[in-house]
Chain A
Amino acid sequence: MESAFSMSISKKVSRMLQRLNKDGWHYGGLPGLQWEAENARNADRELIQEIAKELREDVRFEEFYHACINCGNCTSKCPPFRLVDFEPRIVVQKVMHSKDEPELLYQMMDQYIWSCFQCYSCWEVCPAHNNPGGLVAILKEIAVKHGLNSAKKALEPYSKIVYKIMTTGTQITPDMHTTIALFKDWGPHKAELAKNIRAERAAVPVETMAGVMDKSWRVDEETMKELMFIEKEAGVFDAVEKTLKDVTDMVRDTAKEAGVE
């Protein structure tokens, strides 16, 4: 009779064998991402296929992905690589092999990609002119569109920013600086500035900015209406809905009030 121990070993081996591709490459051996493999295995297969399809059909894909020789130039210049578990090389490798194994993409989208700074240092140094940062940008869009948990978690803390940009076209507005709460680590000077922020803002010698607290500058009503119309027509409202339901409801209300039908 087989012992529990040997059963567990055989399960592990069979799982590892499942992860071998036709060239005999065991992806779990790449650094990073192993901890996300389980989520990918448990994910909805149709969703996994759909995500891979959407990535490859995106108009930017052909421009952003060519072929990867695994040289690691991108990683050597990557800022988050110095601090967290993230490598642009892994991103491009996973994209490359996702044609046969689409779960590799899903695996990455479950948190990993959200570490990218989008600085594009990787793009500039890639000998094959891949754009790992660009691929991450597309994957983030897809994660938001499908309401993946990673997207919900990543975006929840700054839903106010998403709302401000979608409705006014501006962000990080002076009214966010009226208390020290949001920016405690900016020190006592910031606290002093927060106390006087209305007077300081009124004193800015640029007419379009002076005294404006809820936007970065005075934006015409018609301008904001045009912006929300663009976003609605381009499918942004629908795309954001699954990840930020409350924000989307508020944006829709604001758009409706502005006369965007």
Chain B
Amino acid sequence: MMPSENSFVQLGENEQVEIPKEDVKLFEKLSTDRRAKLAMGTTEDYLRMLEKMKELEKKGEIIVHHVEEDYKPQVVKTLSNREKKIPTEELWQHKSCGQCGHIPGYISALYWIMSELSIPFVDDTNQTSCTAWNYYGSGTSNSVALSAVFLRNMHVAWEKNAYPLIHCGTSYGDYKECRFLVVMSEDIRLKVRSILNKIGRDIVIPEELVHYSEWLHVVRERIAERRKLDLSQVKAAVHPACHTYKLMAEDYTYDEKILDGARPAPTSSIILALGAKLVDYSTWYDCCGFGFRHILTEREISRSFAYFRKIRPVVKETGADVLLTHDTGCVTTLDKSQIVALAHGYKETVPVISDSQFAALAMGAHPFKVCQLQWHLADWKPLLSKIGIDWQNAEKEYKEYIEAIKKGMKPSFIRSAPRKLQPRVNVSFAG
């Protein structure tokens, strides 16, 4: 019998295990299965909550906003192998306060992709953020307030007859936590209902909470069909956002065909679908260093963590051309934290953008008018050159465009395709 070829699996910063090459995938799969099993209590609780939600709906205590056929759902698997329906059309955009405030290309790229794919959506001004910054960051909210804010937004989406698509990883995580509390705690439910009733609303809970990266995951082939640039030479690394897959871990998308189901599928899947090279690094599990309060008032901690635990390993281990992520705080921290390190003489740097911006660029979106790369700090010019975008010319066009805006010209807004569903009217509640 021929001795099998061995491979090394990185376990920690300086720790490797040597195992036969054919066992590498199995080893990583087993590690994940073990992780899922270890967290079984949490997973079981979560599945029980979904059952309880059905019971409450049957009793008429709550309305469940189902992922109906009108939303053209696609089915994915979650960590526990549960089937989760991801709506693809008629989406109510639950915008992210951090993204919209200072990395607007995140959203404009997402809307542009939807517009290119003729997908109807609602971009509402009757929306607040989840306000969970004041929960995770500062402790200046509470379960009842957060749950009521969550349900207020979900009620608006239901009234508009559009399915909520949550842009921010933290809102997604917070809403999963709030949904759990509202369903599993009668006390919270009663308190929240009483508040909502006073503003003419009631408890409407989405059947599935859906993050936009899950939407990108299920429409990736349609996006790939419209790819205009060759990405085959691009090496892309992924930073999966903690609040998407660690907070209420059961609910996020995993796919046997993507990284053998050993890690979250979204974002990695769009890289693969677009034909770029997905590269891996040892600290993939680490958070970005954001820390909510820390990114604002204790920046040295955020900055050091982001640079030394994420940016340097990514560049040194993979030579990535770009680092993609799917959350507000992660893009901000990983992008902005490079400047001081570079000023201190460190050399490693990599552009950080969202998966939606990466996909839009591949589809031919304008790097500045649509993808708004001018808001990003780490140098994106080498990436654009590598994928064949004449950024000098694009920058010239954009400067002329900005001058015209200064003189009063309106930008050409990205519009939704015409909606097929009508808003719900004269709604009455059984609750």
Contacts and interface: CB of A to CB of B under 8 A. Distances in A.
A208 B123 CA distance: 7
B370 interface: yes
A206 to B, nearest CB: 5
B158 to A, nearest CB: 15
A83 B377 contact: no
A82 interface: yes
A116 B247 CA distance: 15
Nearest to B304: A83
Contact of B125 (A202, A223, A229, A240): A223
Contact of A141 (B139, B198, B375): B139
B286 A154 contact: no
A219 B101 contact: no
Contacts of A84: 301
Interface of A is mostly: helix
A227 B181 contact: no
B128 A169 contact: yes
A202 to B, nearest CB: 5
B411 A144 contact: no
Given A186-B336, A207-B123, A227 B285 contact: no
Q: Which of B38, B124, B139, B145 has the most CB of A within 10 A?
A: B139
Contact of B199 (A203, A207, A226, A244): A226
Contact of B413 (A129, A141, A200, A210): A210
A170 B100 contact: yes
A233 B100 CA distance: 28
Contacts of A29: none
Contacts of B195: 229-230, 233-234
A171 B104 contact: no
Interface in A234-255: 234-236, 239-240, 243-244
A126 B124 CA distance: 39
Chain B, interface size category, equals 35 or more
A220 B77 CA distance: 37
Interface stretch (B14-22, B184-192, B273-281): B184-192
Interface in A157-201: 157-158, 161-162, 165-166, 168-174, 176-177, 183, 185-187, 189-190, 193, 196, 199-201
Contact of A230 (B35, B45, B199, B243): B199
Nearest to B310: A79
Interface in A20-38: none
Interface stretch (B203-211, B288-296, B421-429): B288-296
B355 to A, nearest CB: 18
Given A140-B139, A165-B129, A233-B198, A200 B123 contact: no
Contacts of B294: 117
B393 interface: no
A50 interface: no
Contacts of B141: 141, 231, 236
A118 B100 contact: no
A59 B187 contact: yes
Given A202-B411, A203-B411, A80 B301 contact: yes
Given A59-B188, A204-B104, A206-B123, A172 B97 contact: yes
Contacts of A75: none
Contacts of A224: 128
27 contacts: A79-B305, A83-B305, A117-B292, A120-B243, A124-B39, A124-B246, A129-B38, A137-B135, A137-B136, A140-B138, A141-B140, A142-B139, A161-B296, A166-B131, A169-B127, A169-B129, A169-B149, A187-B340, A202-B406, A204-B411, A210-B413, A223-B126, A227-B152, A229-B195, A229-B199, A230-B148, A235-B142
Interface of A: 58-60, 63, 66, 77, 79-80, 82-84, 114, 116-121, 123-129, 137, 139-144, 151, 154-155, 157-158, 161-162, 165-166, 168-174, 176-177, 183, 185-187, 189-190, 193, 196, 199-210, 216-220, 222-224, 226-227, 229-231, 233-236, 239-240, 243-244
Given A165-B134, A193-B375, 17 more contacts: A59-B185, A63-B45, A79-B286, A79-B287, A119-B243, A119-B290, A129-B41, A151-B139, A157-B297, A169-B149, A205-B411, A206-B108, A208-B125, A209-B104, A216-B99, A231-B141, A239-B142
Interface of B: 35, 38-42, 45, 95-102, 104, 107-108, 111-112, 123-129, 131, 133-145, 148-149, 152, 173, 180-181, 185, 187-188, 191, 194-195, 198-199, 242-243, 245-247, 249, 285-287, 289-294, 296-297, 299, 301, 303-305, 309, 336, 339-340, 343, 369-370, 372, 374-375, 377, 401-402, 405-406, 410-414
